[in-house]
Structure formats: C-alpha cells, structure tokens
Structure 1
Amino acid sequence: MAKKSISAQAKKPNVFMRIGMFIKQIVDEMRKVVTPTSKELFFWALAVLVFVLFLMAIVTGMDLGLGKLMLWMFG
C-alpha cells in the first residue's frame, strides 16, 4: 500500500475560507490601532510640516547653489 505524501495530507483550505480568514485577520489588526488624541495629532502634523519645510529648504539651497556653480563653470 502506497503512503500519501505529507503535502497531499495537508490540504490548503478553499479560496473562500482563505478570504474569510484574511478579512478576520484584518479586523483583528484594526482593533489594535490606537486613535491619537487631538493634541498628539496636532504635534505629529506639526512635526511633519517642519520636516517637510526643512527638506524643501535643503533642496532649494542645493538647487540654487548647484545652479550658480554651473553658471560659474560653464558661463
């Protein structure tokens, strides 16, 4: 009598069960999400705004500096 392989015995659940399990896992993860308070939200938004402005200043400075360098080099 032939033995069944382990992979044949461990059959995957059907597509609908996998979709259902996926949705259940999403809902379980969403329950772990903590909504920030308005104070936390304000300070995080402010931190992001300051960071974006800082990066904009760096990129603007590099653009102007490299532009002047190219004009000086190639006239």
Structure 2
Amino acid sequence: METITKPFITIGRFIRQTIDELRKVVTPSVREWAGWIVGVFVFVLLLMALVTGMDFGLGKFVLHIFG
C-alpha cells in the first residue's frame, strides 16, 4: 500500500515546492524592461552590421579572386 501513496506524496511535494519558488520571483520594473529592450535592440543591430559587413566583404573578396 505504501508504494501506491508514495508517488502522490512526491508529486504533491513537487507542486508545493514549485509554488514556493514561483512566489520568490520578482517582476522587473518598467525601467528595467526598457533597459533590456534597448540592450537587445543594440545587440541585434551590431550583429546585423557584422553579418552585413562580412557578407559584403567576403563577396568582394571572392569576386576579386575568381572575378
């Protein structure tokens, strides 16, 4: 009989611990959200510039070699 109730106790403990951890989560403020949005936007722009530069540069290089 103990083997049947053990999984239910384990699942209940898991759900209780999950709820306790979710209560510890802190929601970021609007200022923090704005900072992250700007940071991600700048990072994406830098990556786009890098990829564009590499594409253009390597294209010119290949045309120069095999041109």
Structure 2 length normalisation: TM-score?
A: 0.76
Q: One-letter code of the match for 2:45?
A: L
Rg bigger for which structure?
A: 1
RMSD: 1.9
Greater helix fraction, Structure 1 or Structure 2: 2
Instruction: Report deviation, 1:74.
Output: 1.6
Residue in structure 2 matched with residue 33 of structure 1 by the alignment: 25
Segments of 5+ residues of structure 1 without an aligned counterpart are 1-10
Over the matched positions of the two proteins, sequence identity in percent amounts to 56
- Runs of 4+ aligned residues of structure 1 deviating over 6 Å after TM superposition are none
Residue in structure 2 matched with residue 63 of structure 1 by the alignment: 55
Segments of 5+ residues of structure 2 without an aligned counterpart are none
Structure 1 length normalisation: TM-score?
A: 0.70
Alignment length (residue pairs)? 64
Aligned-partner Cα distance in 1 for 2:50–2:29: 32
In structure 2, do the counterparts of structure 1 residues 72 and 29 end up closer, same or farther at CA, with 3 Å as the change threshold? same
